[in-house]
Structure 1
Amino acid sequence: MQKKSFLPVLALGMGLTANCYAADNPFADVPADHWAYDAVSQLAADNILEGYEDKSFRGNHQITRYEMAQMVAKARAKASSGEDKVLVEKLTAEFQAELEQLGVKTANLERNADRVKWSGVFAQKAMKGNPDEHTWWEKELFLNVDAAVNENWNVHAGVDTKWGSKEGWNSEEGFADAYGASNVNVSSMLYQLYAKGAAFKGAFATLGLFTPGLQEGFVGNARTKGMELDYQIRKTSLKAYGGNLHEKVSDMSSAWSDAFRRHGNRGDFEYVGTGAGGTETGFKDQRLRAWGLAAEQRFTDCTTAGIGYYNLHSPVAYGDSHLGIVAVNLRQRLADAWELSGFYSHGNQHYQNKAYDVKFIYNGSPWGDKKVGGSFGYRYLGSDALIMSSVVNGSEKPGRKGWEASLWYHFMKNIQIQGYLFNGTAINKAYDNGAHRTAYFTSLLFSF
């Protein structure tokens, strides 16, 4: 292979070290008064030059064009200024043939960088719950990372970090305890982690920790560690999922919220330890498992509907029995800006065995491109007709019924405010003294 002198390397070094202070020189045979000292030192600091095992530079030695191409490939990642880039491009043209031999590795690094996407939402929240009258403040940062594995598969991770007051939310335990971080008011959790891609023709699979996508999450919105399969046949989508549930006990069935009782008792929770120092065992000990099936059809551009079945195994709440739920949902566009959305579900445990939500929506989702929008509707959320619902916002948890209104407004691109106001009561009025309660959830959101 043809040999080449170090002169291009020194020229490269002088270009990349312009207007910089030289790093410490690791080479014993390049004294501080050498004309190439600054360039060689910086190239070593930038990991472009490695030298020899005896820590010498050997500047008078000839190097192969392949060795020079390796240095140019490393320098391409370091060049930042216009002058640097011009010099690197000249060297790239000179050593094009050798760089092509390294091109697979270099191209893969560039392609991998392009495949990783970051996004997220920061929210400042103010909330007031049903049982008490104090306002609870919380900050939340939700960070998403999406990476392409290949043309067919992607990996997604979502990390949820919250800052909240320690005195507790909605007469429940303190924020720190609820998120498993004792004596601190900041907590972070891995909210989602899954791989998603084509399983076979017309079918897509999701594997890992995910939120099921059946029927807009009206019935089975609890995060699941398992698998989901979505099979598309023209305008019909057949979906199925199954796995172990992965939610805080307080989100599924609350030991301190009398309004939410599965099967007429305080199901889905239990404490270990003694006195106030007890902690929630969580779902790992209770082996909560769920699965579901749904068929969803787009009949026209204005009408979609679905039917599904869900099954929850909760030994604490239902013993050896299972909660079985049948659900239907409908979304109907009424005009350009208005649509009607709703669902009805029925469980088999004969306590609060029905749930439904009907609402009128103006200008669609708050995450769309409209300036302002909102909704208004009525809900009845029986605790034995849901696993975990995507509609419990102002009403906070199943076990309640009442009216809810929402309003959202975009101040500018990626900055919006959302507000939800609920007025209702517990389905079992013995737990709410027959009184109507009001709850509000307000968030100022910055998305990126």
Structure 2
Amino acid sequence: MKKTLVSALTTALVIGAASTTFAASNPFSDVPADHWAYDAVTQLAADGVIEGYGDSTFQGNKNITRYEMAQMVAKAMAKTDVSAADKALIDKLAAEFSDELNNLGVRVSNLEKHSDMVKWNGKLRYTYSSKRVEDEAKDDSKDKTNKDELLFRLEPTAEVNDHWNVKARLDAKTYLDSDSGNGSDDVKLKRAYAEGNYKNFSTQLGKFGLYTPEEGLVFDDEMSGAKVTFGKDLKASLYAGRLDLSDSATAKNMTGGSAHYDDTANMQGITLQYSNPAASKLSGGAAYYHLNSDSFKGSTDNKINSGVAYAKGANDEDTANIWSLNAAYNFDGISKLSAAYANNTSADNLNHSWQALYNYKGAQAENKGTWGAYAGYRYLGTNASLFGTQDAQIVGAKGWEVGANYTPFKNVVATAKYFNGKGIESDRDAETLWGRVEFQF
């Protein structure tokens, strides 16, 4: 086998460079520009697949050893931007020179190459909240609950092939006021799922984030099961799986015990959502969700947030049937007005929720100095917003919420929110100061 004039062409096919013309200077004195292998040799040198000799020669007529060929194959294996056909050729070459590659330690190198397909993102997040609720027994006084939470999150993404990825989320929490976690939830695998993306079709399988189009009015949590989405401008999403009721917004707020919410609920749902920014500033959709659990039966009579609301069950039914509508108008690409409504037709009380929000701009973690602000009114019925978003806002309460975020440094985002309102049933005054700083990586 000749040195690399033959093997260079073989490897050039691997990296798709055999017909490329270069303006760069000739890397080898013994391969003139009019040589039949000039393009391939120059490309291979530029890509680091071949190096030549210390005297700036290529010595293309010199016999090549299997060890030298294995070195070139190893370097070709490290490339990522190759076609399926070229990848097949690399695999054949790797099989042929497997012993030599093993001696070169390419098994380790290959594992390192595949590890590059796993991307790690994460954040360190500090959250402070101070909730103040009117005390029923004391005039003009409020019960105050403060929380200092520190969260460390890792989110790996592993590429399986051109269409599939595997993703996960691992959260570790501690509370700075007591320097302790929350029992078994100190370190928790929050998500682990496979995600497939095709043209006008996508799917998620496993335990994944559940944030439906109502912008956190009904669901802002995780579910275990499957989700499929198909369509282009008009998209339909189908959901089927289970939700942990002990992790619901209602259960998280309980001060009188949460035994009634230690069950899981089966959930099936469908959402229809239209959005085409190029054709219309309007977007919107509708949804229906069916949940089934013994936890929905009867009345829990457990207090929420020291009397802001009471978590009462639907009736004797073990189901929750929630339908919702949402709409948004994007004014100029930087400001948006949105609204949503949801109703649990199986519940007798606290059975509906609605919100109207105005968003202006928004902080971008990658761009220092960017910022955003929002204002809105939210009415969160406990039995309609079982898994609803509640940062400053309290499920079971109604009122105004304002907030802003800012990026003082790249990948550092600060957010502040303030809520002022009343319990829907108790009519007690409630307010929340809420702040968060995130260091993203």
Structure 1 partner of 2:148: 137
Partner amino acid for 1:339? K
Structure 2 partner of 1:346: 343
- State the alpha-carbon separation in 2 of the partners of residues 175 and 76 from structure 1: 50
Aligned residues: 327
Per-residue CA deviation, residues 265-286 of structure 1 (Å, 9 max, x unaligned), is: x8xx427xxxxxxxxxx64xx2
User: How far did residue 335 of structure 1 move?
Assistant: 3.2
Select the residue among 324, 335, 350 that pairs with 1:327. 324
Superposition map of 1:154-193 within 5 A: 154-165=165-176, 176=181, 178-180=182-184, 187-193=186-192
- Say if 2:432 is the partner of 1:439: yes
Structure 2 partner of 1:371: 370
Over the residues paired in the alignment, what is the CA RMSD in angstroms? 3.5
SS at match of 1:135: strand
User: How far did residue 150 of structure 1 move?
Assistant: 0.8
- State the alpha-carbon separation in 2 of the partners of residues 418 and 403 from structure 1: 17
Superposition map of 1:24-173 within 5 A: 98=97, 102=101, 108-131=110-133, 132-165=143-176
Are the aligned partners of 1:230 and 1:237 in contact in 2 as well (CA < 8 Å)? yes
- Shift in CA distance, 206/250, structure 1 to aligned 2, threshold 3 Å: closer
Per-residue CA deviation, residues 70-112 of structure 1 (Å, 9 max, x unaligned), is: 89999999xxxxxxxxxxxxxxxxx9x9479749967853541
Are the aligned partners of 1:73 and 1:99 in contact in 2 as well (CA < 8 Å)? no
User: How far did residue 446 of structure 1 move?
Assistant: 0.9
Are the aligned partners of 2:66 and 2:97 in contact in 1 as well (CA < 8 Å)? yes
- Shift in CA distance, 322/368, structure 1 to aligned 2, threshold 3 Å: farther
Are the aligned partners of 2:363 and 2:407 in contact in 1 as well (CA < 8 Å)? no
- Shift in CA distance, 241/217, structure 1 to aligned 2, threshold 3 Å: farther
Partner amino acid for 1:304? S
Are the aligned partners of 2:292 and 2:319 in contact in 1 as well (CA < 8 Å)? yes
- State the alpha-carbon separation in 1 of the partners of residues 272 and 366 from structure 2: 26
- State the alpha-carbon separation in 2 of the partners of residues 382 and 352 from structure 1: 4
SS at match of 2:296: helix
Superposition map of 1:269-284 within 5 A: 269-270=258-259, 283=262
- Shift in CA distance, 107/238, structure 1 to aligned 2, threshold 3 Å: farther
Per-residue CA deviation, residues 226-255 of structure 1 (Å, 9 max, x unaligned), is: 0011112x3111001111113644634357
Are the aligned partners of 2:203 and 2:226 in contact in 1 as well (CA < 8 Å)? yes
Structure 1 partner of 2:32: none
- Shift in CA distance, 250/309, structure 1 to aligned 2, threshold 3 Å: closer
SS at match of 2:408: strand
With the length of structure 1 as denominator, give the TM-score of the two structures. 0.64
- State the alpha-carbon separation in 2 of the partners of residues 365 and 359 from structure 1: 17
With the length of structure 2 as denominator, give the TM-score of the two structures. 0.65
- State the alpha-carbon separation in 2 of the partners of residues 293 and 405 from structure 1: 31
Select the residue among 271, 279, 285 that pairs with 1:306. 285
- State the alpha-carbon separation in 1 of the partners of residues 402 and 386 from structure 2: 23
- State the alpha-carbon separation in 2 of the partners of residues 222 and 446 from structure 1: 22
Partner amino acid for 2:125? A
SS at match of 2:184: coil
Structure 1 partner of 2:358: 360
Structure 1 partner of 2:241: 243
Are the aligned partners of 2:71 and 2:101 in contact in 1 as well (CA < 8 Å)? no
**Aligned-pair identity (%):** 23
Are the aligned partners of 2:365 and 2:407 in contact in 1 as well (CA < 8 Å)? no
Are the aligned partners of 2:128 and 2:434 in contact in 1 as well (CA < 8 Å)? yes
Per-residue CA deviation, residues 30-65 of structure 1 (Å, 9 max, x unaligned), is: xxxxxxxxxxxxxxxxxxxxxxxxxxxxxxxxxxx7
Structure 2 partner of 1:388: 387
- Shift in CA distance, 362/248, structure 1 to aligned 2, threshold 3 Å: same
- State the alpha-carbon separation in 1 of the partners of residues 411 and 191 from structure 2: 23
SS at match of 1:253: helix
Partner amino acid for 1:147? A
SS at match of 2:378: strand
SS at match of 1:112: helix
- Shift in CA distance, 365/308, structure 1 to aligned 2, threshold 3 Å: farther
- State the alpha-carbon separation in 2 of the partners of residues 159 and 226 from structure 1: 18
- State the alpha-carbon separation in 1 of the partners of residues 253 and 216 from structure 2: 24
Structure 2 partner of 1:402: 399
- Shift in CA distance, 302/101, structure 1 to aligned 2, threshold 3 Å: farther
Partner amino acid for 2:222? R
Are the aligned partners of 1:214 and 1:220 in contact in 2 as well (CA < 8 Å)? yes
Partner amino acid for 1:227? A
- Shift in CA distance, 287/412, structure 1 to aligned 2, threshold 3 Å: closer
- Say if 2:278 is the partner of 1:289: no
Structure 2 partner of 1:421: 418
Structure 1 partner of 2:409: 412
SS at match of 2:391: coil
Structure 1 partner of 2:194: 195
Unaligned residue ranges in structure 1 (runs of 5+)? 2-64, 78-94, 168-173, 182-186, 259-265, 272-281
- State the alpha-carbon separation in 2 of the partners of residues 291 and 130 from structure 1: 36
- Shift in CA distance, 213/240, structure 1 to aligned 2, threshold 3 Å: farther
User: How far did residue 188 of structure 1 move?
Assistant: 1.3
Per-residue CA deviation, residues 331-351 of structure 1 (Å, 9 max, x unaligned), is: 211234321122111111121
Partner amino acid for 1:180? S
Are the aligned partners of 1:73 and 1:106 in contact in 2 as well (CA < 8 Å)? no
- State the alpha-carbon separation in 1 of the partners of residues 248 and 288 from structure 2: 24
Per-residue CA deviation, residues 173-202 of structure 1 (Å, 9 max, x unaligned), is: x964x4426xxxxx111111110004x763
- Shift in CA distance, 402/123, structure 1 to aligned 2, threshold 3 Å: same
- Shift in CA distance, 336/75, structure 1 to aligned 2, threshold 3 Å: closer
- State the alpha-carbon separation in 1 of the partners of residues 212 and 147 from structure 2: 32
- State the alpha-carbon separation in 1 of the partners of residues 252 and 111 from structure 2: 48
Are the aligned partners of 1:366 and 1:408 in contact in 2 as well (CA < 8 Å)? no
Structure 2 partner of 1:209: 207
Are the aligned partners of 1:355 and 1:385 in contact in 2 as well (CA < 8 Å)? yes
